[in-house]
Amino acid sequence: MANKLTGSYNAVAQISRRQLNGLLASLHQNGASDQPPLRLGHNGVLRVGDPKPTRPEFVRLRFGNWIRNFQSAGGPSNLDDFRARLAVHAPPGAAKMMEEEFSKLEKGRPGRQPSKKPRGRVQLQLSSPTIILADGATSEATLLTDVRAHYDPDSGAGEIAAADHPLHGEVRAAFELSVLSSASGRKLSVRPSSKDSKIQFIAASGTGLTGAEVSRISGELRDIVREKFTPPPVDLPPDFPFSEFKVVGSGANQVIALPIQVSDSPLPSGRIQNLDENFADSSGFAFAASKEYIEDLLEPLFDAVSNVVRDFKKEIIIGVTVFGIPLKQTIKFTLQLKSGPSLEWESGKIKLSAHLKLVVRPGPDVSFKFTQKFKLALNASTQQVTLEADGNPSVNTDLPFNFLHEAFENAVKEKRDDALSGGAVPVNDAVNGIFAGARQKLIGGLKVFDESASATFTTVKITEDGLIVRGEIGSGPRQAPVVQ
């Protein structure tokens, strides 16, 4: 059965949409620098409406490039020299065919007929983009950005819109996201949607743009996005932690859920749809580890209970008088495990319990249940996440002598604390390792897009289904806006 927090995975990360928008803002700010590997431009100048070359034109262009490369390598200095060499060295009959083809090339491409379609130069100014996500999406994200544009048509070309209708509005463009595997490693692929309905221009209020003009702008926009705003696949670090995602929820607290590999076992494939729970709440990001996975790490606590039972040996000597004769009686106490130990997960705590028998010789045995509560703690300065004892161990009945209760309590505390922080595999080394490792993987992934990115834990929580650690993502200082 799938875990409510993590589905079929041991651990899952969630990042809020607002933090993704902050990441996009960093990429937009990076547009002012040539150093970052990823950036989003602020402005630019583009050509629109230029007809695509026909197949013969494309071949002519490639042939011309080949000749130039041949010349740069020490070949013929001009086209006439090249033709002459081919004619001399070509097989019989081939020279005539080559001469005919060169004659065709000499004629050049036919002049294009004047067109009233839009064609010319467009100057763009772009705002910082934001992201739109559909609940349940696993491969698509839509970017939204405000745009201001000025169109300078070529001589004789048509207008995009009336001169008194400014090209101001909102651009919405959907992109398909995927992680590709190649011989050189994994790459992030971002491709514009092939569906026209998913790349749209929405006119700003007051521009006066007509429906026909908006439709024309949208058509030009699709060509621009698909031809000029399709980035090449980006190399990902070998330890980049994310390979798939799912959008969970809607509104202000919408998140993307990303499975994380926290063990040597590969992530199960085809299980992303099982992630439906938003556990990040209003935080910027969160990690969740399933209780099933955590319980395997808490095995030393079970061993601690077994060790208490094994090592508990107490005795007391009491004085009795029989027929007026004073006698001494030694009573011995040991423990037996009746059932358990087991863990019970509740909101805010984990309870470790076991049913034990106090064996009294001579005397009647006493059965009882002991319980130790644990809470999850965060050290804000060191960012360590640990389990701590929440109070002392308790028993559900009185033991025959007070010293037995105290001795049992001390024995449990000693073995408990050793399991948490000592021993060969301390519980807290394992628990903190999960979240510290996930945090470092998140930071490494973020730095692919924003070199100044950071991630800080802020709160922790125990639920009936596992452990949750929440936090916020930080970035470098923001630059003041520039108005042009």
Q: Which of 221, 226, 223 is CA-nearest to residue 203?
A: 221
Per residue in 434-474, pLDDT (tens digit) is 999 999 999 988 887 788 899 999 999 999 999 999 999 99
User: Residue 86: helix, strand or coil by DSSP?
Assistant: helix
Per residue in 350-362, pLDDT (tens digit) is 999 999 999 999 9
DSSP states of 225-264: HHHHS-PPPEE--TT---S--EEE--GGG-EEEEEE--SS
pLDDT the model gives residue 23: 87
Domains and CATH numbers, the chain: 17-50+117-235 (3.15.10), 55-107 (no CATH), 292-429 (no CATH)
Would the pTM count as exceeding 0.85?
no
Structure tokens at 12: 């899952």
DSSP letter, residue 107 = H
- Reported as a pLDDT band with limits 50, 70 and 90, residue 173 is very high
Sign of the Cα torsion 272, 275, 280, 282 reads positive
The residue that leads in pLDDT, 52 or 179, is 179
Q: Which of 45, 199, 195 is CA-nearest to residue 123?
A: 45
Mean of pLDDT values over 155-177 = 92
| Number of Cβ atoms within 10 Å of the Cβ of 430 | 16
Per residue in 132-154, pLDDT (tens digit) is 999 999 999 999 999 999 999 99
Which of 186-195, 261-270, 429-438 shows the lowest per-residue confidence on average (mean pLDDT)?
A: 261-270
With beta carbons less than 8 A apart as the criterion, state whether 74 and 182 touch: no
Bridge partners, residue 105, by sequence? none
Instruction: Please give the Cα distance from 18 to 289 (Å, whole number).
Output: 23
pLDDT the model gives residue 370: 96
